[in-house]
Amino acid sequence: MNGYARIVDLVSEQTGISVETVMDRCRSVPIFNARALAMYLIWNTRSQDMADRRTTTVSTIARYFQRDRATVVNAIQRTEDRVRASEDYAGQVRNLRRGLEA
């Protein structure tokens, strides 16, 4: 399983929304939030390895999710806003990051 798929799988487990649904075109709020969280985690958990930083771009995330770049940027920004606004949500994101490190 590649890094992107692993993140989507963890988000799926955390949210109870299937991987197929997260990857689908559905725009309902819970599904959008799960997809946005996965995009955010992919963007923000890039390793310190410079090669990884060069290969994980907004464009590569957009291609993976079959979305356009503006959608990815919007999803990342909205998730960042949610993390700043809610300590509970920020805690959930920290827990997911720990799961990625395991």
The model's pLDDT over 6-54, given as tens digits with 9 standing for 90+, comes to: 999 999 999 999 999 999 999 899 999 999 999 999 998 865 444 555 6
Q: Is the pLDDT of residue 1 over 80?
A: no
The model's pLDDT over 47-74, given as tens digits with 9 standing for 90+, comes to: 544 455 567 899 999 999 999 999 999 9
Name all domains of the chain by residue range, CATH numbers in brackets. 3-101 (1.10.1750.10)
DSSP string covering 63-85:
HHHT--HHHHHHHHHHHHHHHHH
Number of CB atoms found within 10 A of residue 76's CB: 20
Which backbone phi and psi does 9 adopt, to 5 degrees?
A: -65, -45
Residue type, 43: W
- With 0.85 as the threshold, say if the pTM is over it: yes
Residue position matching structure tokens 């890039």: 46
What is residue 19's predicted lDDT score, i.e. its pLDDT?
Answer: 97
* Coil vs helix vs strand at 25: coil
